[in-house]
Amino acid sequence: MAVNAKRCENIVAQDGEVVGAACRVPYYPLVVKSGRGAIIEDADGNEYIDMLSSAAATNVGHSHPKVVDAIIEQAREVIHYTPVYTYHEPLVKLAKELTEITPGNFKKKVVFGLTGSDSNDGMIKLARAYTGRSKIISFIGAYHGSTYGSISLSAISLNMRRKIGPLVPDIYHINYPHCYRCKFGKKEESCNLECLQDFEDKFKSYLPPEEVAAVIMEPIQGDAGLIVPPQKYVKKLYDLCKKNGILFAVDEVQQGFGRTGKWFSIENFGIEPDIIVMGKSIASGMPMSAIVARAEIMDAVGPPAHAFTTMANPICCKAALATINVIKEEKLLEHSKNLGEYTKERFNKMKDKYSLIGDVRGIGLNIGVDLVKDRNTKERAQEAAAKICYRCWEKGVLLTFFANNVLRVQPPLVITKEQIDKALNIIENSIVEYLRGDIPDEVLKVAKGW
């Protein structure tokens, strides 16, 4: 157990009485009280090195002083006046900044939302309105959020979709290129992109390409287990879209804002998308999301089809401007790339020692460690992931897993080498303890993940 857990236990017990389960994915009973940089303190005063960044929503670290100052200063001016009816300067400044840091040397425009999910809904509206087509292609394993539109785009969990239908129609899901677990039994070095051919077959049999408005892709599929597609796949998919008049949209909600050592993860593939959806770290965890798209696409949707009263809240806009400045000033893109390479190397060394680790992948401080029961069958080691994450929490590291068995390593980009070393040592010790059978089954009642 964590050193001291009294207050935390009490708060968690009360929470269970009054909060609905639909919004929860439990790993351990952590009650967050405060955070600075890459360190979180719980309600009992225990400290943790954060390897999760509030689900990649706090890339510049917790309560960065420059972000905090920006929030306080703006709160003193005005907390909110809706930009649906009026205008404000932080919104305009932020929109300009976003058009500059996003890839694409063409005129872009921006609309804001409150959370990644609603901006993915907005993407559907833009794509349909601009092209006059209704069909949207997404991927199996995609997580795009939990509003109706974004759930309809997602295909990662039956529980997310059960009992709540009908969902938004005319959305189709194709296989994501997952080289470690290739559905077509191929090796990346020698494959002929059978996964893309599989998609093209759909265009020849039942899915008329001229009715498809957009393909929406996570350039690195996050919640499905941090899957990095081959560059050649993304390029050919983009070309296929262009050939058929289909918009290429990317969801950067989790992978954006320096996570992969670039402002946006699609830059790792040399593609300029038509629509970019962003959220999470944009404003360091304040409720904000945005869509940046080619101006002509944005202009296709009339008012007030994507207007929210509290959108582009000026406090959130100031927090976002401060966040972007911190990423620039503290050179967090380089830091993410360099420390990410180091971290990946350390996990690869662990892979040499423990056959439990089947694959280590990712770009930047954005690493998935795929735990398997057997390296040949690649059967997912779900229990191992749950137990290791729980033990890490007990020892002062916040680590989670996704896709049942993939350790999710996404610390705040401001994390230091000393902190990451300490966290990696604790993770390795927890792996050893798991392999020795030292972590009791009891923890599985709590560490469920998804």
Ligand X SMILES: Cc1ncc(COP(=O)(O)O)c(C=O)c1O
Q: By C-beta, is 145 or 358 nearer to ligand X?
A: 145
- Report helix, strand or coil for 269: helix
Contacting residue, 253, 300, 357, 407, with ligand X by CB under 6 A: 253
Q: How far is the CB of 221 from ligand X (least distance, A)?
A: 8
Q: By C-beta, is 55 or 386 nearer to ligand X?
A: 55
Q: How far is the CB of 115 from ligand X (least distance, A)?
A: 4
Q: By C-beta, is 151 or 388 nearer to ligand X?
A: 151
Does position 383 interact with ligand X (CB under 6 A)? The reply is no
DSSP label at 175? -
Of 3-11, 25-33, 249-257, 339-347, the window that binds ligand X (rule: CB under 6 A) is 249-257
Of 29-37, 110-118, 183-191, 404-412, the window that binds ligand X (rule: CB under 6 A) is 110-118
Does position 143 interact with ligand X (CB under 6 A)? The reply is yes
> Quick one: CA dihedral 5, 6, 9, 15, positive or negative?
negative
**What does the alpha-carbon distance between residue 234 and residue 255 come to, in Å, rounded to a whole number?**
16
**What does the alpha-carbon distance between residue 252 and residue 346 come to, in Å, rounded to a whole number?**
27
**What does the alpha-carbon distance between residue 344 and residue 74 come to, in Å, rounded to a whole number?**
39
Contacting residue, 90, 116, 219, 368, with ligand X by CB under 6 A: 116
CB atoms within 10 A of CB 200: 15
Backbone angles phi, psi at 140, to 5 degrees: -65, 135
Helix 382-394 to helix 417-435 angle (10° resolution) is 130
Token reading at 397? 């590291």
**What does the alpha-carbon distance between residue 385 and residue 401 come to, in Å, rounded to a whole number?**
6
Q: By C-beta, is 280 or 337 nearer to ligand X?
A: 280
**What does the alpha-carbon distance between residue 445 and residue 47 come to, in Å, rounded to a whole number?**
23
List the interface residues with ligand X, window 389-448 (CB under 6 A): none
Q: By C-beta, is 8 or 217 nearer to ligand X?
A: 217
Q: How far is the CB of 120 from ligand X (least distance, A)?
A: 6
List the interface residues with ligand X, window 37-76 (CB under 6 A): 55
**What does the alpha-carbon distance between residue 19 and residue 10 come to, in Å, rounded to a whole number?**
14
Of 63-71, 143-151, 307-315, 338-346, the window that binds ligand X (rule: CB under 6 A) is 143-151
**What does the alpha-carbon distance between residue 245 and residue 203 come to, in Å, rounded to a whole number?**
13
Token reading at 282? 């944009």
Q: By C-beta, is 118 or 274 nearer to ligand X?
A: 118
Q: How far is the CB of 408 from ligand X (least distance, A)?
A: 11
Contacting residue, 42, 50, 218, 267, with ligand X by CB under 6 A: 218
> Which residue type, as a one-letter code, is found at position 271?
I
List the interface residues with ligand X, window 265-324 (CB under 6 A): 279-280
| Beta pairing partners, 49 | 39, 397
Interface residue list for ligand X (CB under 6 A): 55, 115-117, 120, 143-145, 218, 222-223, 251, 253-254, 279-280
